[in-house]
């Protein structure tokens, strides 16, 4: 094997070299981009849940009282009983849970969406503490409230004011900018979980359609082992029954409806087909290149190159081409991924996760979580593509080289 000879051969046959390198590099780039897109959509689909510190949310559909006065549950989130929560906590794969109570409060002069939160739990809506733009977050053991800033502006509510919801009064200790907050589990008024449970438990109207004990809840946020999300979701369905609404990254992915989001198997198949076509192009080009050199190989053998010497020479040529193609493919994929990263994705939030009553102005509007496509080329995938490319080069070189190296010099030199 002589590197100088290899490099000169590759430069001399520029057209074939460029075709095989470009063909394979486009295949490698397609393979990487298709997989990166699939991963990006999966990551994007996780965003509505991850931004609230969860992997799964659990609700249960139910009825709304005919008369809307005082505190009522939305029809998409009725009681989750304490004994159900105790069972859920024991499901294998669950790392932690967060609880909340969401109620609509229809007071004589104002309607509120009220959310009771666990102030010290990182799983669930307590993540809102970073969006407090004025005042402070809720303090432990105190009956106090946070008001969403746009709502406060609309109704002239200021820090230090007292607000009344369902007959209970709370001092306003902070204002929350919900426009920057997660799209699910948002409200106009944020209370401690205990206060919200007390409001729900005290509502006779609510109790008539969905019996609620003071330690029950109606929103559950679950952090789970990534690989067990599907099995956890199935176990949740079993405990919660048919009316359970369980949101997982997979369910958001389905809502996205993108081709790349449909199935990871589809993406793998499509990208492998692209790579296979590229490999065939490279194989054909390299085979053409080698068959053009039959006479040259005859000369090499005549002057004393063994079959092994010839095979190693052709194999190294092929590996170098495919290595360069692999590197080029990765570079193309990185550049394309950079371009695609400016794309935005709108992830629809299911209506049952929208906290606003649909019969109020804007309540029926489709909510979206909008984010830039989080696309990147994973290093392991790029390494795999490069390895595959080099393997293809090695295999092609070995197969073609071994075949062509068996020619007898006299056969090709005879026709002078």
Partner 1 sequence: MNNADILIGANLSKRFDDLEVVKDVSLIIKEGEFVSLVGKSGCGKTTLLSLLSGLEQPTKGQVILNGKEITGASEEELALFRREHVGFIFQSFNLIPTLSAWENVALPLFPIKMTNEQRQDRALELLNQMEMGHRTEHLPAALSGGEKQRVAIARALINNPKIVFADEPTGNLDSATGDAIMAILSELHKKQGMTMLMVTHALELAKTADRVIRMQDGEVIT
Residue 9 CB, nearest distance to partner 1 (Å)? Answer: 5
Does 403 help bind partner 1 (rule: CB under 8 A)? no
Does 299 help bind partner 1 (rule: CB under 8 A)? yes
Does 308 help bind partner 1 (rule: CB under 8 A)? yes
Q: Which is nearer to partner 1, 280 or 410 (CB)?
A: 410
Tokens 């809307």 belong to residue: 68
Does 16 help bind partner 1 (rule: CB under 8 A)? no
- Scanning 292-306, the segments in alpha helix (DSSP H) are 294-302
Selected from 156, 160, 304, 361, the binder of partner 1 by CB under 8 A is 304
Q: Dmax over Cα atoms in the chain, in whole Å?
A: 108
Does 295 help bind partner 1 (rule: CB under 8 A)? yes
Q: Which is nearer to partner 1, 9 or 144 (CB)?
A: 9
> d(Cα 286, Cα 132) in Å, to the nearest integer?
63
Q: Which is nearer to partner 1, 303 or 380 (CB)?
A: 303
Q: Which is nearer to partner 1, 106 or 305 (CB)?
A: 305
User: Residue 25 is inside which H or E element, if any?
Assistant: helix 14-50
Does 413 help bind partner 1 (rule: CB under 8 A)? yes
Residue 284 main-chain phi, psi, to 5 deg: -65, -45
| Secondary structure letter of residue 276 according to DSSP | H
Selected from 302, 335, 360, 387, the binder of partner 1 by CB under 8 A is 302
Is residue 240 classed exposed, middle or buried when 0-12, 13-18 and 19+ CB atoms within 10 A define those classes? Answer: buried
Residue 281 CB, nearest distance to partner 1 (Å)? Answer: 23
- Scanning 140-191, the segments in alpha helix (DSSP H) are 149-155
Does 306 help bind partner 1 (rule: CB under 8 A)? yes
Stretch near partner 1 under the rule CB under 8 A, chosen from 3-11, 163-171, 253-261, 323-331: 3-11
- Asked if residue 320 lies in contact with residue 13, where contact means CB atoms within 8 angstroms, the answer is no
Selected from 45, 71, 300, 320, the binder of partner 1 by CB under 8 A is 300
Does 139 help bind partner 1 (rule: CB under 8 A)? no
- Asked if residue 237 lies in contact with residue 244, where contact means CB atoms within 8 angstroms, the answer is yes
Paired strand residues for 81:
none
Question: Of 98, 195, 190, 182, whose CA–CA distance to 135 is shortest?
Answer: 190
Q: Contact positions toward partner 1, by CB under 8 A?
A: 2, 4-5, 8-9, 11-12, 295-296, 299-309, 406, 408-410, 413-414, 416
């Amino acid at each position: 094997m002589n590197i100088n000879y290899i490099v000169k051969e590759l430069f001399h046959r520029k057209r074939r070299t460029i075709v095989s390198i470009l063909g394979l590099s486009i295949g490698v780039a397609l393979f990487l981009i298709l997989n990166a897109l699939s991963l990006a959509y999966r990551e994007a689909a996780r965003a509505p849940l991850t931004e609230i510190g969860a992997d799964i949310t659990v609700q249960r559909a139910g009825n709304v009282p005919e008369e809307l006065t005082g505190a009522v549950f939305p029809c998409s989130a009725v009681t989750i009983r304490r004994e159900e929560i105790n069972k859920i906590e024991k499901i294998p794969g669950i790392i932690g849970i967060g609880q909340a109570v969401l109620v609509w409060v229809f007071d004589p002069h104002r309607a509120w969406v009220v959310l009771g939160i666990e102030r010290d739990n990182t799983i669930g809506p307590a993540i809102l503490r970073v969006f407090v733009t004025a005042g402070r977050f809720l303090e432990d053991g105190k009956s106090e409230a946070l008001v969403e800033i746009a709502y406060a502006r609309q109704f002239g509510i200021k820090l230090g004011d007292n607000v009344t919801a369902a007959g209970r009064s709370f001092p306003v200790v902070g204002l929350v900018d919900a426009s920057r907050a997660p799209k699910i589990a948002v409200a106009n008024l944020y209370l401690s979980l205990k206060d919200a449970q007390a409001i729900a438990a005290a509502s006779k109207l609510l109790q008539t359609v969905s019996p609620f004990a003071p330690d029950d809840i109606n929103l559950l946020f679950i952090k789970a082992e990534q690989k067990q999300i599907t099995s956890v979701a199935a176990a949740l369905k079993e405990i919660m029954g048919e009316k359970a609404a369980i949101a997982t990254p997979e369910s958001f992915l389905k809502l996205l409806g993108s081709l790349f989001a449909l199935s990871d198997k589809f993406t793998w198949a499509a990208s492998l087909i692209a790579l296979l076509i590229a490999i065939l192009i490279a194989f054909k080009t390299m085979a053409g290149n080698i068959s053009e050199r039959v006479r040259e190989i005859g000369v090499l053998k005549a002057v004393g190159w063994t079959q092994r010497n010839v095979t190693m020479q052709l194999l190294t040529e092929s590996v170098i081409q495919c290595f360069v193609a692999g590197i080029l493919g990765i570079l193309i994929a990185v550049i394309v991924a950079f371009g695609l990263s400016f794309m935005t994705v709108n992830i629809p939030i299911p209506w049952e996760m929208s906290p606003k009553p649909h019969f109020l102005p804007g309540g029926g509007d489709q909510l979206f979580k909008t984010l830039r496509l989080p696309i990147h080329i994973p290093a392991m995938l790029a390494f795999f593509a490069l390895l595959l490319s080099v393997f293809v080069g090695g295999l092609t070189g070995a197969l073609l080289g071994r075949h062509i190296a068996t020619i007898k010099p006299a056969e090709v030199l005879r026709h002078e």
